[in-house]
Structure 1
Amino acid sequence: MKVTLKKAFSIIDGRLSTEIGDVYEMLNYIFDDNFMTHQLPTAMNRLKELNPNWFSGMVDVLNDVKKTNNTNDFGELIKIIDKSFPAYEFQLGKISSEFSFFDGIIKQK
C-alpha cells in the first residue's frame, strides 16, 4: 500500500493530517487487523516500538522536512508538504508478529 507523506504524517507524528479513515486503513493494513477507535493509540505505539526499517525511513523523511524548514508547527508543516511534497509516496510494510490487539492491550498469541 502506497501513501503520501501527508497521509503518513498521521502515523509518523501522531497529529491527524488526513481523515481518520486513512489512519484506520493504514494501521489495519500494516497489522493485518481491524482496529476499533480505542485501539488506534496502542497500534501506533506498537508500530513506533517495533520501528521497522520502512517506518524509520518515513520518520527520517519527516524529520528532514522539519529540520530543513526549521519548524514543528503543524499548520506550517502541512502547507510545506502540500506545496513541496504533494506526490511524495511511501510503501507501507506489513508487520507479522506474534501479537494481537484486544481492547487496546497487546496480547501474545
Structure 2
Amino acid sequence: MPTQNNPFPIMLDAMVVTSEYITKGRLPVLYVCREVDEEEETWQFHCGNGDFTMERMQLVRLDNILRLDDTLVALAQLPAGHFATRESIDAQWKVAALPEE
C-alpha cells in the first residue's frame, strides 16, 4: 500500500491515536507505536509524557499528524509490533519491539 505520496502502510485518511498534547498543545511527537492484532492495525503518536488518560486521547487522520510533524515519515516502515522513541524532535529514533502481553 505504500506509494510515493504516502510511504505508510495505511491510507492517509486512516484514523490514528494521539492526544491533545500533540494537537492542541503542539508538543513534539516523541513516541510512536504500531500495534497489529488479528482484526486491525493501530498507529499511535504521543509526546512521551506517559499520560494516556482517555480524556486526553484523540482520533485523527494520519495526514493531520504528518502536517504537524513531517519528520514522522522516517517511521513509515516501523515494523508491526514495534515502537520508536526519541529525546527531542531533532534526535534519532530508537526502535524496539513492544513488550508481549
Give the shorter-chain TM-score range.
Answer: under 0.3
Return the TM-score normalized by structure 2.
0.27
Q: Which has the higher contact order (CA 8 A, sep 6+)?
A: 1
Which structure shows the bigger proportion of residues in strand conformation?
A: 2
Which structure shows the bigger proportion of residues in helix conformation?
A: 1
In our comparison, the structure showing a higher alpha carbon Rg is 1
